[in-house]
Structure 1
Amino acid sequence: MSRPPFPRATPDTDAGTQLRLLRRQAKLSQLQLALISGISQRHLSCIETGRAKASPGTLHNLLSALDVPLEHCNSLFLAAGYAPRYEATPLAAPSMDAIRDAISHVLKANNPAPAIVLGSHWEVLAANASTQVLFDLVGLAPDAAQGLNLLTTLLQPGGLGDYLLNAEEIRNLAWQRAAREALGNPTLATLLESLPVPQGSTAPANDLPPLVLTRINSRQGELDFMSTFTTFGMPQDITVTSLRIEHLIPANPHTWQVMTAAYEQSL
């Protein structure tokens, strides 16, 4: 279910008013939000009506309880008269060493199944060795993952989407997810505007499978994968929030056998 865009800060919208809008959008009462965030309902009421000013710590707790994206949290801090709290640290920065090490560990551990790291605009930031193995199996060029945007290659003709046996289904799901994310991401919204809109999907079968598989046409026949995502828990940085690792887990013995043999041959 898509979430409506978060209300943006304007000169006429103070922090308390925005908090009230966010709380109502989350379908929480003042009492419920007060209990979750650990403040009194009376204090929350005063903050929302402008009779009291939230401290930075209280504002942080309220925004965390409401699961507000960090980029928008910064606008709330500005509206409350504070400096922006959250930074977007480059992934290559020394302070992100532990993040990069964790990503590398997860990517390597996923072999012989493919895994890629995606940024907030669906750009591929890193990939494990099995990703290139899969690209080789479908006939894509070496180092095809470098500089790749997953959304673009799925939706544009001539990309990875052309190798999917259920391309219509996957393209529609990718478009829907990206459209939801674009509600609060202007750069992604601009990218979507430049891409072809997928054709409407066919009506689902009466007996729905547990999940949608990514079905790839390869030189070794059909390869079926389940898609899962890994994200960082409790992020305090905008860059870390945007990172997600997509794992393509083989969905049957044939796919496992093909990926394992091809991966071992590539070593």
Structure 2
Amino acid sequence: MVELKTPEQIAHMRAAGLVVAEIHRRTAEAAVPGASTKDLDDIAAAVLAERGAKPNFLGYGGFPATICTSVNDVVVHGIPDRTVLASGDILSIDAGAIVNGWHADAAITVLVGEGHGAELVELSRVTEESLWAGIAAMRKGNRLVDVSRAVETYIRRQPLPVSGKYGIVEQYGGHGIGSEMHMDPHLLNYVDRRRGRGPRLVPGMCLAIEPMITLGTPKTHVLADEWTVKSNDGTWSSHWEHSVALTEEGPLVLTAPDGGREKLAALGVTVAPDPLA
């Protein structure tokens, strides 16, 4: 069953989304050479405490940290530890928050320090822009597969990197979000015709849209810690995510400070009014 939210519930999710946006702002600033991923986790915990929000990652299925920090060939679910960041690293920071029982979840990719080749810069750009293409397809009357198609189509239309391919990760994808962090429906980042078109998108539906792309294989494996997900061929990856609510007035990007207004305007999409403005 797909949970539909009331305007009041979406307002709570927007409040949680702004906490996530602040976590990303502060951890991205701190993601410099010499910092550890545990340092970033401590910052995220401090933001949650300052804002009176609760963590939704910590303890989830036994996850031992406040955020996920995935470095280089780690695609998702990296556990913050004493790993020290270095110039040239690519890092995804996946964060979440709960406000009044309602969840938000988002991820960004950070290029640490200097020395990144054009291929890595482009990898992050393509991943982020495919996310916005998916968000733009979150319109009343569309179906879930239209979001998947928009993400995949954007990626497939980009010039190939030096490695020869972009691998759209197959084993992980987006999801519904609301009174729980992970809910129906599951959202692929590519079109699988065997799965049908999925539910119709209607006001009150909230999705966490999150493309994950590598510079090689779409295949991944989980390490012995039962969380850390790496690409099978060791190629580096990027992960971008936003939680998005569909309202009668259009989409609202709950985890973007401006609600997604600037990015979606460039795609010809009008953002719904911010309930907290």
TM-score when normalising by structure 1: 0.29
- Larger Rg over CA atoms: 1
Structure holding more strand per residue: 2
Q: Which has the higher contact order (CA 8 A, sep 6+)?
A: 2
TM-score when normalising by structure 2: 0.28
Structure holding more helix per residue: 1
